[in-house]
Amino acid sequence: MLEKLPMTALYGGVLIGLSATMLLAFNGRIAGISGILYRLLFSHLDAYERSWRLAFLVGLLAGGYMLLPIEFELRKGYSSLLLACSGLAVGIGTRIGNGCTSGHGVCGIGLLAGRSIIATLVFIVSGIITVTILGSFTG
């Protein structure tokens, strides 16, 4: 099991934590990706509120791009129906639950926000149940 614990996972996590720290310390904002995306798409924002969110998302893609190509094998032939249902559930869930892995899992827990601690436990357990059920269908 230990060989499955690459240090890059830890370094990547530290980078994510530093990013959230930076946004909070300088701008006073939460690095929650779903919230940033939905506010940008669905809310009427002034120029600054729009620009910083857009800049963060552009940065997210650029930062990811800098470390490409990836070394893992790409998943091929995965069910489009599952992908579509997944996207819908993630979209509705993170909007009504006000956050995803980043907002609740990283920033919220860091702030010791009770809502975020509960939400994170719930979505991890819900994810585990989903993958377990999915696995029993696909073998």
Binding to other proteins (CB under 8 A) within 28-87 occurs at 28-31, 33-34, 37-38, 41-42, 48, 51-53, 55-68, 70, 72-76, 78, 80, 82-87
> Contact at 8 Å (CB) between 104 and 34?
no
Decide if residue 90 touches other proteins (CB under 8 A).
Answer: yes
Q: How far is the CB of 116 from other proteins (least distance, A)?
A: 7
d(CA 80, CA 86): 10
| Least distance to other proteins, CB of residue 50, Å | 10
Least separation in angstroms between CB 49 and other proteins: 10
Helix (H, G, I), strand (E, B) or coil at 79: coil
Return the closest-CA partner of residue 110 out of 37, 31, 39, 56.
Answer: 31
* Binding residue count for other proteins, defined by CB under 8 A: 110
